[in-house]
Amino acid sequence: MGITMPPPMDRPASDMPGTASAEPPELTELITQLDQDRAWLLEQIDRGRWSDLRLDLAALERELGQLLAKASERLDPTT
């Protein structure tokens, strides 16, 4: 019952982060996709998008980066 926001006009819906695929991705693929989404979010923040939410989104991006780094380390402790 949540509100769904339309995709930004400069990016097609099929290219949006979090778009579901037909098969569940492997864990490493999921981490890679989430890291790409994190990088996209950072790029959007740097471009000035959502300026009223900048501080909260930047904090979210940092926390997501730390979480993904920890998850990657647990999957491959040699990295």
CA–CA gap between residue 69 and residue 79 (Å, rounded): 10
Q: Against a cut of 0.75, is the pTM above it?
A: no
Tokens coding 35? 């890291």
Helices (H), 8-53: 27-46
| One-letter amino acid for residue 66 of the chain | Q
Q: Using the predicted structure, report yes or no on whether residue 37 has a pLDDT greater than 70.
A: yes
Cα distances from 68 to residues 3, 10, 14, 35, 56, in angstroms, run 27, 27, 23, 7, 18
Q: Using the predicted structure, report yes or no on whether residue 29 has a pLDDT greater than 70.
A: yes
CA–CA gap between residue 50 and residue 75 (Å, rounded): 34
